[in-house]
Amino acid sequence: MTDFTPEVSAYRAYMDDRQAHHGARTALGPSAANKCYRQAAYEYLDVTPSNPRGTGAADLGTLLHLGWSAMITSRYSPDERQADVPIQPEGLPRPGEADDVDWVNRVVTDVKTAKATVYESWGRNGVYEDYWDQVEVYALGLRQQYGGDWTLRIMAINRETGEYVPYERAADPVRGYELVAKIADRHASLVQDQMRLLDKEQDERLAVVEQYPREGKGPGRGMPCDYCPFVDMCWPDPTGPDGTPQSATMDPDDMAAIGSLASEYLALSATGKKAFDARDDIKPFLAGLDAVVPDPQDPEYELTVKMVGGNPGKPEYDCEAMAERLEELGYAPIMRETTTARYVRVGRRKAKRKKG
């Protein structure tokens, strides 16, 4: 068997270097526009991750970005369209790198990859709204340097199939300035904390980071929490058998907070299928709670939050357990006959000579 170890090692080293490059944060740049404030604080204040993320999904996303970059570079001249363009809007402490800039049509693109279920959700409802923030900051930087009106494009790629689809909208310079100001303020706050924590231990750093707000939806609800190296630090262990990490962050005595979420949940439920994804983001925060709270929309009413279901159902045959038991007894599970699909096969052979 051929030994591929050197090639694999070289690939692993390259990917590790690429991830380390993107993970190094000496200052906040455009990517902080849609990054959770607490995640940025963990990184900037040099907190050791509790669970270094699995490299598979991260590597695949990086490779898809590199593939897009290679495609743009091979198809266009740099004065037409260019990949991996450094952009630093005025007021930001460091530049970012736009995935794709179309100079002719003034379109700046950010490539986003997702698993199939998330990609399908984007097809129904559009990409997550905060995904536009980073590319909005890039557009502002391009406007400042080159002038003109720019178009934002998010190229959504299905990691599992390679399918992709573009989403576009016009750039909003006012929004761009707001985002730059937000990033600059966050950077200034983190710099102050970093100076105070230079000689502090990990526990003291953690105590400071917990003052920064969570801005993700929690584990199992997509980015930025999924695959975040600090997810176990940020989201507590579930409380009770029906609890979730999200619900563990809720104070069961905080009727105002519970009422706000329950009211929003009911409002989204009444708007139809398009809002179900947003409604389902609220579910984990209410899971396991048992509360009766005033309706924030109408004090004459109250909202109830409780777990339902879990009643015994009709017995069902456990086919997997039966197969395992038969195997233990030395019997092969009964197999049903099947037929293969019919298809056309075209071949080539020597013609047979006719006798006589």
Rounded to 5 degrees, φ, ψ at 338 are: -130, 165
pTM (two decimals)? 0.66
CA 262 centroid distance within chain: 25
Per-residue model confidence (pLDDT) at position 199: 74
Category of 297 on φ-ψ map: left (φ > 0), alpha (ψ -120 to 50) or beta: alpha
Category of 181 on φ-ψ map: left (φ > 0), alpha (ψ -120 to 50) or beta: alpha
3-state secondary structure 88-127: CCCCCCCCEEEEEEECCCCEEEEEEEECHHHHHHHHHHCC
Topology of the domain covering 5-196: Lambda Exonuclease; Chain A (3.90.320)
Q: Measure the CA–CA gap between 138 and 176, rounded to whole angstroms.
A: 8
Specify the DSSP class assigned to residue 305: E
Per-residue model confidence (pLDDT) at position 55: 52
| Ordered mean pLDDT values, 10 residues apiece, the chain (356 residues) | 44 56 57 78 79 61 80 92 91 87 95 84 83 92 94 90 91 93 86 78 81 84 77 85 88 88 85 74 87 86 85 81 81 74 66 68
CA 1 centroid distance within chain: 39
Q: Measure the CA–CA gap between 257 and 187, rounded to whole angstroms.
A: 29
Nearest to 89 by CA among 39, 26, 134: 134
Q: Which secondary-structure segment (H or E) carries 281?
A: helix 276-286
From-to residues of CATH 3.90.320.10 in the chain: 5-196
Rounded to 5 degrees, φ, ψ at 123 are: -65, -30
> Do 136 and 152 meet the contact criterion of CB atoms below 8 Å apart?
yes
Q: Measure the CA–CA gap between 110 and 134, rounded to whole angstroms.
A: 8
Nearest to 165 by CA among 115, 128, 112, 117: 112
Q: Measure the CA–CA gap between 65 and 157, rounded to whole angstroms.
A: 10
Q: Measure the CA–CA gap between 37 and 23, rounded to whole angstroms.
A: 15
Per-residue model confidence (pLDDT) at position 3: 40
Q: Residue 318: which residues within 8 A CB-CB, separation 6 or more?
A: none
Q: Quick one: 34 exposed, middle or buried, by C-beta within 10 A (0-12, 13-18, 19+)?
A: buried
Q: Measure the CA–CA gap between 102 and 327, rounded to whole angstroms.
A: 61
> Do 177 and 140 meet the contact criterion of CB atoms below 8 Å apart?
yes
